[in-house]
Structure 1
């Protein structure tokens, strides 16, 4: 599932976030100050960073600027803060944050915002070519090439392969693939299994009949 870095020094807020998201399959890391948060963000890959503005050592605005300007880290950042003035929000966005949530906040709303940021990032990935080993996928041209030869997939098969390639080597769950392919309108039958079989058959056929 998705991996979230929570940079927050309030233990009650951290505990509530963990209690809400871990049962849903999210993987979480936590840093209690700006410096340890920067270290974790630098050494690991996350899908979203939840960043408190008021942090000991280095505040969230400074940390976000370092992520963007020094580390060139494009991980979506959602700032959590008790400051709710327009100037505060502008400062957060100017530092490179993608979204802003004022405390106290609803965990349901937090989840919606996290998923929206992840979807936005994944949609951006569709504009680029992806290569995994000898397999390359070009979304704009809707082509899949392996060892110089073209593979033909249905539109749904193409989207499934794109999801698997863009998230590799992370394991993607059945539910996650279904949500990305069909959204809330998931077919009642086991459609994903059928499409996965078709994708796999194309890849195996290419290997056995070059």
Structure 2
């Protein structure tokens, strides 16, 4: 697991028109040590950006006036800002997820969401950008994921992974607190619509575990029964 980030003085802009959800986000993030500004529309969010610098934005898409998509376009194309953005979305379809990343989103959380998971993702994204450049290497226990070389090593030994196996490991290591369903892993690793075929993901996870076991007896992937898989703590 990565080193916990000190939240003090890290500023979060919340752009969410639902007053109840906005309040939950504000109270939860404030309790975790973040300084939060609340906006209820895309236009209000833009005004906040003009007055203050932020370390991360939590953005709903269904906003009055300037939509979340319009907000993202102005942020990335007009302001040329690289502030990390975590999108809150009620949709979970593959094409929608891909559209979010095309817009320039750094991550997405599907509604309804767990506040603890969102906070964990905020920590990860702020930590990545703290040095001013994307993290190219991730470490977990004795595993090293090199995003530049698209390689995974255990105790220095290179694992011979298929494209999908590498992608599964990458998703788990980049999101250490997230539980991925089989549908999540299939659609994000294969970039295809999931049709309910359970064996494909199970077999690939089993292959990854076996390849790791030849170099390390530690557990790296946990099964969360009835849900999916996550990185072992």
Question: TM-score under structure 1 normalisation?
Answer: 0.58
Distance in 2 between residues matched to 1:125 and 1:8, nearest whole Å: 28
Distance in 1 between residues matched to 2:50 and 2:97, nearest whole Å: 25
Deviations 1:162-190 (Å, cap 9, x if unpaired)? xxxxxxxxxxxxxxxxxxxxxxxxxxxxx
After superposition, residues 109-148 of structure 1 pair within 5 angstroms as 109-125=117-133
Aligned residues: 127
Higher radius of gyration, 1 or 2: 1
User: Is contact 1:42–1:71 with CA below 8 Å preserved after alignment?
Assistant: no
Distance in 2 between residues matched to 1:95 and 1:69, nearest whole Å: 10
Q: Higher helix proportion, which one?
A: 1
Deviation, 1:12, is: 1.0
Distance in 2 between residues matched to 1:119 and 1:25, nearest whole Å: 15
Distance in 2 between residues matched to 1:105 and 1:114, nearest whole Å: 14
Indicate the residue corresponding to 1:78 in structure 2.
86
Question: TM-score under structure 2 normalisation?
Answer: 0.52
Indicate the residue corresponding to 1:89 in structure 2.
97
5+ long unaligned stretches in structure 2: 1-7, 136-233
Deviation, 1:41, is: 1.8
Task: Report SS of the residue matched to 1:28.
Answer: strand
After superposing on structure 2, the runs of 4+ consecutive aligned residues of structure 1 that deviate more than 3 Å are 123-127
Match of 2:13 among 2, 5, 21: 5
Distance in 2 between residues matched to 1:29 and 1:84, nearest whole Å: 27
After superposition, residues 26-45 of structure 1 pair within 5 angstroms as 26-45=34-53
Task: Report SS of the residue matched to 2:48.
Answer: helix
CA RMSD of aligned residues (A): 1.6
Question: Is it true that 1:23 corresponds to 2:31 in the alignment?
Answer: yes
Indicate the residue corresponding to 1:197 in structure 2.
none
Indicate the residue corresponding to 1:102 in structure 2.
110
Task: Report SS of the residue matched to 1:79.
Answer: strand
Distance in 1 between residues matched to 2:62 and 2:105, nearest whole Å: 14
Distance in 2 between residues matched to 1:95 and 1:37, nearest whole Å: 17
Residues 11 and 126 (structure 1), Cα distance of their counterparts in 2 relative to 1, 3 Å cut: closer
Distance in 1 between residues matched to 2:118 and 2:20, nearest whole Å: 16
User: Is contact 1:7–1:32 with CA below 8 Å preserved after alignment?
Assistant: yes
User: Is contact 2:128–2:134 with CA below 8 Å preserved after alignment?
Assistant: no
